[in-house]
Amino acid sequence: MIDISKFSAQEIDRIIEMAWEDRTTFDAIEVQFGLKHQEVITLMRKQMKESSFKMWRKRMTNKSTKHAVLRSQVSTRFKCDRQRAISNNKITKR
């Protein structure tokens, strides 16, 4: 059982946003927030309308990009290919 009270409203919003993104893995959410896959599902169930949760679960079922082990090696990057080194965090000029 997860304790949602340890997260701010802003953090909960970010977890939900990351869970909705196709390219963000559950492993990335665990590293950043300490929530395992099943805990993310529990949080989503509690924080979303039932219809929205069901739509999300349908999208995520068997989605290989959400699990690092199932991802192809092609999709290992987490940033835009036009983005500079993460320390500068700026889009390059064209």
Token readout for 67 is 């699990």
Helices assigned H by DSSP within the chain: 9-20, 26-33, 37-47, 50-60
User: In tens digits, what is the pLDDT along the chain, a chain of 94 residues?
Assistant: 678 888 999 999 999 999 988 888 888 899 999 999 999 999 999 999 999 999 988 888 876 666 565 555 554 555 555 544 444 444 444 4
Contacts of the segment 3-6: beta carbons below 8 A, 24+ positions apart:
4/43, 4/46, 4/47
Q: Which residue's entry shows tokens 């959400």?
A: 66
pLDDT for res 53: 92
How many angstroms separate the most distant Cα atoms in the chain?
49
Share of the chain above pLDDT 90, in %: 38
Contact 60, 25 (CB under 8 A): no
* pTM for the model: 0.66
pLDDT for res 81: 53
